[in-house]
Structure 1
């Protein structure tokens, strides 16, 4: 990429909860240190022809389309890369039997020739080739949906996990990648000694909560199990967190651990409704996760709309209390600036401010011809009279990867959608 680039057009972000910020102007992105950082902003610029000169440079200018805008890259705070081939496959199962029936066999096939998925194979199994194919697809898919940062689970296989790391690096996605370590006390001590990031699950399913109580009867709660083993830290991501008790919420707050809300997965597996508003009001940091393949889609935009829907169900089961409702603006915050807090990159990702990294997606809602007909593909119908707040809402509820035209990570162009 060039050392400096100017971006002109409409910039949409949600720097805080329920605050949709829509601005037109120009940003100068500089990358002398190898990372694209917003070095200067001018919100008085009104045309691309004056963008570079007003910022005091002579560099290329990239302009968003008339019905387009720049938006911070999505942050997926919880996704199982190894499970991507099973996205959309649930049968009639719930969490624990789904894991046994679908997930464990697939994950083992990416690292072990003894996996039951190879039982009827007529050719010699090649687990690492399969891992490479799966990881190439999932990283390409998430980037195409606008995800610039992801917190990935891999498998127990070290070689397969290394493949995931290599592919993420080559494709340019910002990623945390960890092996599935199961119940190994040594890893708890290692995390403490090295001050490592931790990703795990908590209170996803009522039967899971019961099982944890049976396995650890000396602890009062699921949260206390983690706390006893010093696994609740400011660098811990707790996925799902559906069935937490008030005392557990308080412990998580004190430990400054983070919550990954995975609404699509929670609904698909019948796990329950996460009371996100309660957690936000309690001062917890919350982001969104696709939880592929418990979640059926690699899109954080899909997770955002599911978060809105689930919040209304939470309100319903609390007597129609609308205070539980998450707005479109709230959901977009969770998928960007909120997610940045969860992955420890607050102030670096999730908004358009000087000093922040250029992890950005360019969204295009489609152009209209002289007859008022929409020219581009996609499911967002724009008539031309909508306010920009309503255009953004239409994108959240109806948009998909067809609206994601370009994606940058640290200023590097990592995805450009080709016209069909």
Structure 2
């Protein structure tokens, strides 16, 4: 099968994945995320965590990952080097944020953020509008435009966040408009979540070519909201799937597939007329949809002739695996125990050799 594309994952948060899910987003960031991310100034700590997350995602079939790192340039470069050494196709963004009133030591000055982003980062990464001043967003938009760079951030994850953005940027018509005004909505932009976007905002996404990353595990785990995928697809907005570690407790894209199906069924429970997503539709979002969302679909996403060979070799009857074959049937979702080999651009990267 084609390799899985994780369009949104915080590599730096892997150290506490599966814990600390007792708060809504904004409180969760202040209590857990910012203190942990500040530790990545220690390169040995960074090396340990980043090595583990790249190994874990590869073993779970993630051939392409779009990573958030931290505000630390050297550690962000280290993540890129580790992913490259293991053979994973990765986009790595150094986080930019010059506004953080709760954990004051975890932020940058406007000048530092601009200078450090200009040098090493292939993905311009404003954390999200509430942690950035308008001046920083404007500078990042210029850097991305002048260098034709990828852009990643978050949008409309929770109602509380949307309200805060309205207070911080009263001159903008919507959360989406904040990014648009600062040249951060392009055909190389991927925004995580989007649970509470209006139809007008989705139209802006369509017009600019920007994409969304659906992160259902995180949306459930932090009680953020449920993305209406049908409505996103109806607006012809590019859509990928993300694990969003550690708001999402699993680094497995197969888990993201399951949770995306769950989210769709929740909407059907609320409205029986809602057409539940099929497994095949979600599988497409996790593969080709993800490569389209990251503007990499000329290289990967399926087995079209001319694309790189990003692939998983699966054994549904793997010894000790999660599936028992009772009769002639086609089991559709296993786990990492069923993934025998992983290839990225034709190179075998799993089993991992030391």
Q: TM-score, normalised by structure 1?
A: 0.73
The answer to whether the Cα contact below 8 Å between 1:286 and 1:339 also exists between their aligned partners in 2 is yes
Structure 2 residue 317 is matched with structure 1 residue 402: no
Gap regions ≥5 residues in structure 1: 1-70, 112-126, 368-375
SS of the equivalent of 1:72 reads coil
Question: 2: CA distance between counterparts of 1:362 and 1:94?
Answer: 38
Structure 2 residue 10 is matched with structure 1 residue 80: yes
Q: Name the residue aligned to 1:95.
A: 25
The answer to whether the Cα contact below 8 Å between 2:21 and 2:247 also exists between their aligned partners in 1 is no
Superposed counterparts of 1:238-387, under 5 Å: 238-317=191-270, 319-323=271-275, 325-366=276-317, 376-386=319-329
Q: Tell me the CA shift for residue 384 of structure 1.
A: 3.4
Superposed counterparts of 1:86-125, under 5 Å: 86-111=16-41
The answer to whether the Cα contact below 8 Å between 2:341 and 2:348 also exists between their aligned partners in 1 is yes
The answer to whether the Cα contact below 8 Å between 2:219 and 2:226 also exists between their aligned partners in 1 is yes
Q: Name the residue aligned to 2:156.
A: 203
**Equivalenced residues, count:** 315
The answer to whether the Cα contact below 8 Å between 2:21 and 2:221 also exists between their aligned partners in 1 is no
Question: 1: CA distance between counterparts of 2:166 and 2:324?
Answer: 50
The answer to whether the Cα contact below 8 Å between 2:158 and 2:225 also exists between their aligned partners in 1 is yes
Question: 2: CA distance between counterparts of 1:316 and 1:213?
Answer: 31
Structure 2 CA distance for partners of 1:246 and 1:153, relative to 1, 3 Å: same
Q: Name the residue aligned to 1:44.
A: none
SS of the equivalent of 1:155 reads coil
1:350-379 CA-to-partner distances (Å, cap 9, x unmatched) read: 222211211111111116xxxxxxxx0111
Q: Tell me the CA shift for residue 145 of structure 1.
A: 0.1
Q: Tell me the CA shift for residue 417 of structure 1.
A: 7.3
Question: 2: CA distance between counterparts of 1:286 and 1:179?
Answer: 23
The answer to whether the Cα contact below 8 Å between 1:359 and 1:411 also exists between their aligned partners in 2 is yes
SS of the equivalent of 1:322 reads coil
Q: Name the residue aligned to 1:171.
A: 86
Paired residue for 1:156, among 71, 75, 79? 71
Structure with higher helix content = 2
Q: Tell me the CA shift for residue 147 of structure 1.
A: 0.3
The answer to whether the Cα contact below 8 Å between 1:240 and 1:274 also exists between their aligned partners in 2 is yes
Structure 2 residue 135 is matched with structure 1 residue 192: no
Q: Name the residue aligned to 1:61.
A: none
Q: Tell me the CA shift for residue 92 of structure 1.
A: 1.8
Q: Name the residue aligned to 2:349.
A: 414
Runs in 1 of length 4+ with deviation above 2 angstroms?
none
Question: 1: CA distance between counterparts of 2:18 and 2:27?
Answer: 16
Q: Tell me the CA shift for residue 237 of structure 1.
A: 0.2
1:179-200 CA-to-partner distances (Å, cap 9, x unmatched) read: 1112223222111111110000
Q: Tell me the CA shift for residue 91 of structure 1.
A: 4.1
SS of the equivalent of 2:225 reads coil
The answer to whether the Cα contact below 8 Å between 1:238 and 1:258 also exists between their aligned partners in 2 is yes
Larger radius of gyration: 1
Question: 2: CA distance between counterparts of 1:299 and 1:264?
Answer: 10
